Amino acid sequence: MVDGNEKFTGRLGDEAGERQFALEFRQFLSSGAVLSAAGLVQKKDPHGGIGLFATRPLLRGFELEIPTRWVLDVTSARSTRLGQGGLGFYSPLSASARNDIRKLAVTEEEVLLLVLADARPTRQSGSPWAPYAEILPQTAPDVGSWPAGVAQDLLRGTDLGAALLEAEKDLAALHAKVVSVWGVLSTELLSANDDVKPPAVSLDDLRWARGMLLSRRFPDLVGRGGGASPGIWGDAGSMVPLLDFLNHGPHIMGVKTRGFEDECWDGTVGGCAKGNEIGVVSVGNSAPCAKGTEVLHNYGARKSNEELMAMYGFALARNPSDRVSLLIPCKGGGEPVRCHVDRTGITEEIFEALLSVTVMGSGEGGGGSAEQEEEGGGDEDEAELA
């Protein structure tokens, strides 16, 4: 059993506390104790990435326990000095500076991306989350992080390819907002002789952070999302060190997750995830695993190739859930209805919706404008790693 939070003294929100937090975080990650206790080891997988492999026969599956203090989510992000500054609540700021920042209406999703981008190893910013960022891939796998020419050549003519242009505009808008925040923070903190100098986060840093969030987040595992509304890229969810090295396996499991409840939800093969009051999140799978084989986690049994590409940068050759999204206008100019066309073809429901639009003349036909479904924004697979 992993000891909860009582042996750690580092805290977010002040300089000394965040230095200690980073020190303890790095020690936790480098010790390997959590993986060893679970009978797992981290090493290269056959595809050139990193995965988790069984060091012994796991007849009853595995269970990993991570202290919730190492979970990066909207709550922990806004608890940092940088997060407080980005939201306009950092106490060293003057009242006018805090008001100026609040007028920018930085969202919790944006603060999470900002804190993660600031922790990127290439920046050497001294972020308390730097130890986590150091074990993450140097490049993000999502299609939005691919070189522009490559992505457009491969996805030209597809809805996903068209969506990339809008996603890049959203990211540029966020960067412009971040630059404005930095302007206020820099002036205030430098004048106050605060030794925490806000470094400039680049557009590329934000793109990397977005890719890490899309490809590695779980749903809200520890139940502390605070009711935050879904952002541009869906529910922020939770980024959990070590757990996010579980690679996708179509036949393994779909883990049900919920936090701060001492209960268990079985997945398709018997997965379990729970969070408890002592500050530990536990995720496991009861599927047997032979020594030396990779332990896998299903990212979502009902994800289409469009969704897999958008978030993880890969597609399945024989994906039974492959489908395209179709937006059909509603009568009276309401919100369009999203339908899915899968391998079975156009359903009666879709046909009737299209017929209604045509007969009533209520709008232009829904001509195949795809909209990516972000994990956590109402997806029935609350277990998916997204």
pLDDT number for residue 326? 67
Structural domain contains residue 71 = yes
Number of domains in the chain: 1
What angle (nearest 5°) sits at the alpha carbon of residue 162, between those of residues 157 and 167? Answer: 155
Residue with token string 């540029």: 172
Of the candidates 223, 216, 296, 219, the one whose C-alpha atom is nearest the C-alpha of residue 263 is 223
Pick the closest to residue 181 from 206, 208, 150, 218 (CA basis). 206
pTM: 0.72
Sequence-distant (6+) residues with CB within 8 A of 243 are 64, 66, 218, 283
For residue 148, tell me if it sits in a domain: yes
Tokens at residue 294, please? 């990779």
- Percent of the chain at pLDDT exceeding 90: 18
Tens-digit pLDDT profile for residues 47-63: 778 889 999 999 888 88
Residues 201-257: tens digit of each pLDDT: 899 999 999 989 988 887 765 555 544 555 565 666 889 899 888 887 654 443 433
Would 359 be classed as within a structural domain? no
Asked, for residue 366, whether it belongs to a domain, the answer is no
- Compute the radius of gyration of the chain from its Cα atoms: 22
Longest CA span, the chain: 68
Q: Which residues touch 108 (CB under 8 Å, ≥6 apart)?
A: 74, 77, 78, 87, 226, 228, 231, 236
153 within a domain of the structure (yes/no): yes
For residue 312, is it within any domain? Answer: no
What is the spatial order of strands in the sheet that 40-44 belongs to? 40-44, 50-54, 294-297, 247-248
Mean pLDDT confidence for 2-29 = 83
Indicate whether 9 pLDDT > 80. Answer: yes
Where in the sequence is the domain holding 197, given as residue range(s)? 15-297
| Residue 363, domain member (yes or no) | no
CB 64 within 8 A of CB 282: yes
For position 226, which CATH number holds?
3.90.1410.10
